[in-house]
Structure 1
């Protein structure tokens, strides 16, 4: 496919949706033209920046099934890919619920209102009755759509062009109606009592009295506000008596100048009656029994709420990149088609905001369900030639968008399951023999049913906004990380890309998440974090590359270079240990309690390098060296020592120890203290190497200005799992030959009482900081 059929039109169909027809007029009425333009600009700018990043990723290689999940997982690793892939899946699933709720709202409010199953006994029960109707019809509609998707996607794809045609015809009819309203505005009168808007379908004539056979009699409106009886003796609502009934034009038209009144916001709390500024009214007491006659706000509104509700109308930008395998020239079609689609939809949204504010009366804009215009869809009142064009067109477009979401979400889940990075999702990787994701469709239907049970379009929209924003945030992050790290395989062909745009897009996504709903944002991040930690815990290892690992390497390099600036201050000094271990003939650690001592002394802080020497030739002993490294690493894990292992092969053991003392560490992360075992029986040993090795190590350590710690009887040292109930602490100082010999108890981080163990320290150059560190640790431990 080319750019038009493969990218532009699919993106157009996925971006235009239910919010444009059902909520944009209400958003303009509540936020005003200026703030509505700001909302549209924020959301569309966020998706445009994300599209630029997505184009860079798409032009860096072919993107198969999985779309955003594939992009992120192959860039940032399986942990981030799985977390964001599932967030994108949940967003797409809740989007299907939102479209279905929109279709049912159109069906019950404007197409067949008499099809409602539940009816309210009073005004207070209206909302609950409507929610129950939405749940019943929404569940039925979801089941029918799931059956269609299960039978075959080819039917959905065949209907896609029809649904897109409905959307385009509906939008064209809005523009045609706006232009026609300059000279011939449509007739949609609004009945006002004082400055308050009345529900138009509750009475036939907008007047207190009517003339029948030359006799003035009470109208239906009068009977709604007054008790039964003749006009002189009936008890009437005080506000009704004090104020006049007037009729104003609901659609004054493009040349009426109404745009000045709709320029500013008019946010309302829940239950407040819609009022028109400028109409004369007398403030007086009014009865709650007549409240149902007025048009009122069904929810409390604010700028942040409207951002969360509008954002889903800017999503759907990845429809083209998901089809990259079917495109003739994906490197060209994806960027051009996606950016053109976003540009087109953004212009439609911006111009629609201005047209709605310039053509429609403010109280009608704030009337979410068209109660003031006789239960007509508000955007339909502006359309030409008939409001039914919008009603029917929007109904089919929402049904089509719901089918598209139900088709895409299971395939995304199937792609995640097939990668086998989340074990409990493995079953959803299977399906029908032709590859259709049957089990994934079943799970998608169950999750979408949760959205249906919420039954409120205004509550479902912010939820899916969070999941989409989370996905877009990590698409931008993936691009920025790859560019800043100069990853060798990162060579996007999209020439208008820059890492600063990705960083700006990432910042906007994060800001929009907290602007629209900070608690939903925290929940979405919590879900992504739990999925990330679960995948990390399961140890998913994929040869996809890992951008976070590259980021860690860059951060480590930067930190090491900073450590080279100068020696550490005494306050920051801590022992950086080089633990010299001796291995037996079977390559087992001879004195594992040296590692126990190191772990308790360090308490997991600072640097620990565990070294050993294999005697022999490197070429011949390479396998033996690897086995020794693995044995030491296993023992380090058992003894809970966090550090690095270094095994060298040398012709003489003492030469290998000298190599370790000289070369271990990197930059500022070098050892300053050497720990080695006591040479038992070296006086009785016939092998002179036994004592020469020990003496040579002491001399080399002193020459390198390092501290040397030689634990004696280390095999009796208490393990990490032992606990003592009593004991003593003895501190002995011995000054000898201008140096210092210090005998201290070993510090046990988990023991309340510490038994006496001897510690020998040489080298006066490092004595002072080591002494300060040990005593500070001892005092903190005792406290």
Structure 2
């Protein structure tokens, strides 16, 4: 497919949706034209900046199935990719639920109101009855759509063009109706009592007056007790659609936020403070939700999502590297112009009380945006119904494939089953899970409550797309060569900032919940997920940070307050490549308590060319032991002809820059007297001398097998520290004789290797034992 059919039209179909037809007029009426333009502009800027970053990533290589998940995981690593990919999957799934709820709202309120199963005789129970109707019909619609997707995606794709045509025809009818209203406004009278809006009455004027008397007065008599507001205000009718040339936009410029239960009024912010509270029994138009700027941002943002539709189809595009940037950005610009001009047209053509009337009660139950359409409101009603159904099908088609792509990467173990499907590759199990999650959104049954949920998930996905592009650009990765050149790291970070701000502006508690969910998935993948190495940007960021930190450490000697035990642990392997004194590693971990640097080293006797395999096996043994003891550090294995030469080389070469060992830990030579090799004791003596020459501290724990392990509680007792100082430096000898009841010291005698190391005369002269 080319740019037009493969990217531009799918993006249009996914961006235009239920919010445009059902909620945009209400957003304009509540926020006013100025704040409405601000909401639309900020949301469109967010998606445009994200599209620029996405275009750079998508043109840096082939993007197969998975779309946004693939881009983030290959740029930021499997942990971020899995966490954000699952959040994007949840967002797409809840988007399907939102579209289905929108379709059912149009069906039950504007197409077939008599099809409602649950009805309430009392006004207070009408909301609950409507929610139950939404749940029943929504579940049925979800089941039918899931079956259609299960039968075959080809049928969904065939219907996509029909649904898109409905959307385009509906939008064109709105613009034509706005132009026609400048010359001949449509007749939609709105009943007013004072400045309060009365629910639309299909009655002659005289009968309306009689009906209102019955509603506000306790009897038909002239002297009957009536509502105070009814007696002090006149009944009138105004035109709900005064038209483009009426100048009504001056009244709709400013916001008019009201609280739940307030009466929708004309030219005021909520109910009059001097009037008595209106009763729900009276035929007013009431607000069903408390409005605010932040609430409207969360409700409107889903209408600008869907920008990933082109990148998700990259495998079907003739030239993906060219089509994705052009098609996506053109689709965003087109929809942005439509949204911005729609805000202006709604504010200039429709009265404010009608705009704030979410369900069109004041205009005889008509869809508010439909009152502006030409030639009849049914064009919008039918078109919006089919467009929401089409968008719901697209979501139920894309979400299972996204989950299947995540499962096939095998980074989340418990999702492996969702990587399989029918013989032709259709994600059967993923579709089943998607339908179950979407059912949760259906059970919420409120479009205004579901919209902020998917807003969080989409914003988090867009945030990490911008982060991935910005990091790759700043790190200048060798494989970062996108064909799309109209991007900059500042645009990426601006888009990331807007996404983060919108998350907390729309709903701070939903934002925290979404972040907690993503963090839990991240940690799960980090600890239990499969090992994947995709050359991610986080690894590159770590390398850059490590390089910067090492260069800073070279600037001068460390201060005493910043000193850390940077330990080199010398371990010896037996003939079976097993560590002889594993408790040395336990002691080292207890000594540094997770701080500083730990290097675990060993020496393999032989020639490097011939013993390279043995060195790798020894290194794996050390790594396994470090994992078992939960020691964070590095392994180093040196091949040398003589062990003492290898130890000398290791002490000289270990570490990098300011991250070099300042302490050496080695085992006590227990068997030097019984050893048949006369050179055995010389290895220890040589290590002492090399350590002294390098001005390093030396820790030699004796009876290391009696030391407590990390899992054992510390035994009570004493630690004797023997300091032996001589002209060559300082040697710290720690004979830790831990016993259950007491600790004994050790004498330094002529026969000990220490005496041979520093000289018996020096020990006697300094009076040390």
- TM-score normalised by length of structure 1: 0.91
Output the CA distance in 2 between the equivalents of 1:532 and 1:340.
Answer: 34
Q: Determine the structure 2 residue equivalent to 1:769.
A: none
Output the CA distance in 1 between the equivalents of 2:733 and 2:664.
Answer: 16
Find the residue that maps to 1:500 and give its secondary structure. Answer: helix
CA distances 1:15-72 after superposition (whole Å, capped 9, x unpaired): 0000001000100111111111111111111111111111112212222222112222
Q: Determine the structure 2 residue equivalent to 1:13.
A: 13
Residue 290 and residue 102 in structure 1: after superposition, are their counterparts in 2 closer, same or farther (change >3 A)? closer
Aligned residues of 1:414 and 1:428 also touching (Cα < 8 A): yes
Q: Determine the structure 1 residue equivalent to 2:43.
A: 43
Q: Is 1:611 matched with 2:601?
A: yes
In structure 1, which of residues 351, 368, 372 is the aligned counterpart of residue 341 of structure 2? Answer: 351
Aligned alpha-carbon RMSD (Å): 2.6
Find the residue that maps to 1:200 and give its secondary structure. Answer: coil
Aligned residues of 1:583 and 1:589 also touching (Cα < 8 A): yes
Output the CA distance in 1 between the equivalents of 2:426 and 2:245.
Answer: 54
TM-superposed deviation, 1:303: 0.8
Q: Determine the structure 2 residue equivalent to 1:93.
A: 93
TM-superposed deviation, 1:73: 2.0
TM-superposed deviation, 1:649: 1.1
Q: Is 1:400 matched with 2:400?
A: no
CA distances 1:297-348 after superposition (whole Å, capped 9, x unpaired): 1001111111110011001111111111222221111111110000000000
In structure 1, which of residues 521, 524, 530 is the aligned counterpart of residue 514 of structure 2? Answer: 524
Matches within 5 A, 1:497-508: 497-508=487-498
Q: Determine the structure 1 residue equivalent to 2:218.
A: 227
Uncovered stretches (5+) of structure 1, i.e. residues with no partner: 211-217, 763-783
Matches within 5 A, 1:166-565: 166-201=166-201, 204-206=203-205, 219-230=210-221, 232-277=222-267, 286=276, 289=279, 291-565=281-555
Q: Determine the structure 2 residue equivalent to 1:665.
A: 655
- TM-score normalised by length of structure 2: 0.92
Output the CA distance in 2 between the equivalents of 1:6 and 1:621.
Answer: 57
Find the residue that maps to 1:414 and give its secondary structure. Answer: helix
Output the CA distance in 2 between the equivalents of 1:739 and 1:663.
Answer: 20
Find the residue that maps to 2:238 and give its secondary structure. Answer: strand
TM-superposed deviation, 1:283: 7.5
Q: Determine the structure 1 residue equivalent to 2:751.
A: none
Uncovered stretches (5+) of structure 2, i.e. residues with no partner: 749-753, 755-769
Aligned residues of 2:3 and 2:326 also touching (Cα < 8 A): yes
CA distances 1:103-132 after superposition (whole Å, capped 9, x unpaired): 111111111111111112211111101111
Q: Is 1:709 matched with 2:699?
A: yes
Output the CA distance in 1 between the equivalents of 2:97 and 2:744.
Answer: 69
Find the residue that maps to 2:119 and give its secondary structure. Answer: coil
Q: Does 176-185 or 478-487 show the bigger shift?
A: 478-487
Q: Determine the structure 2 residue equivalent to 1:111.
A: 111
TM-superposed deviation, 1:400: 1.1
Output the CA distance in 2 between the equivalents of 1:275 and 1:719.
Answer: 75
TM-superposed deviation, 1:643: 1.7
TM-superposed deviation, 1:755: 5.2
Residue 380 and residue 711 in structure 1: after superposition, are their counterparts in 2 closer, same or farther (change >3 A)? same
Residue 553 and residue 240 in structure 1: after superposition, are their counterparts in 2 closer, same or farther (change >3 A)? same
TM-superposed deviation, 1:639: 3.1
Output the CA distance in 2 between the equivalents of 1:291 and 1:284.
Answer: 20
Q: Determine the structure 2 residue equivalent to 1:770.
A: none
TM-superposed deviation, 1:278: 7.7
Q: Determine the structure 1 residue equivalent to 2:646.
A: 656
Aligned residues of 1:191 and 1:206 also touching (Cα < 8 A): no
Residue 756 and residue 383 in structure 1: after superposition, are their counterparts in 2 closer, same or farther (change >3 A)? farther
Q: Does 581-590 or 655-664 show the bigger shift?
A: 581-590
Residue 478 and residue 632 in structure 1: after superposition, are their counterparts in 2 closer, same or farther (change >3 A)? same
Aligned residues of 1:364 and 1:378 also touching (Cα < 8 A): yes
Output the CA distance in 1 between the equivalents of 2:705 and 2:67.
Answer: 58
TM-superposed deviation, 1:138: 0.9
Aligned residues of 1:239 and 1:284 also touching (Cα < 8 A): no
Output the CA distance in 1 between the equivalents of 2:9 and 2:676.
Answer: 88
Residue 80 and residue 735 in structure 1: after superposition, are their counterparts in 2 closer, same or farther (change >3 A)? closer
Aligned residues of 2:692 and 2:730 also touching (Cα < 8 A): no
Aligned residues of 1:675 and 1:710 also touching (Cα < 8 A): yes
TM-superposed deviation, 1:286: 4.5
Aligned residues of 2:256 and 2:268 also touching (Cα < 8 A): no
Residue 741 and residue 621 in structure 1: after superposition, are their counterparts in 2 closer, same or farther (change >3 A)? closer
CA distances 1:76-135 after superposition (whole Å, capped 9, x unpaired): 222222222211111111111111111111111111111111112211111101111111
Matches within 5 A, 1:62-77: 62-77=62-77
Output the CA distance in 1 between the equivalents of 2:260 and 2:548.
Answer: 54
Output the CA distance in 2 between the equivalents of 1:149 and 1:47.
Answer: 28
Aligned residues of 1:295 and 1:372 also touching (Cα < 8 A): yes
Output the CA distance in 2 between the equivalents of 1:397 and 1:390.
Answer: 10
Q: Determine the structure 2 residue equivalent to 1:214.
A: none
Output the CA distance in 2 between the equivalents of 1:628 and 1:52.
Answer: 49
Output the CA distance in 1 between the equivalents of 2:740 and 2:176.
Answer: 84
Aligned residues of 2:700 and 2:735 also touching (Cα < 8 A): no
Residue 702 and residue 241 in structure 1: after superposition, are their counterparts in 2 closer, same or farther (change >3 A)? same
TM-superposed deviation, 1:488: 2.2
Find the residue that maps to 1:613 and give its secondary structure. Answer: strand
Aligned residues of 2:298 and 2:452 also touching (Cα < 8 A): yes
Find the residue that maps to 2:679 and give its secondary structure. Answer: helix
Q: Does 725-734 or 17-26 show the bigger shift?
A: 725-734
Residue 745 and residue 571 in structure 1: after superposition, are their counterparts in 2 closer, same or farther (change >3 A)? farther
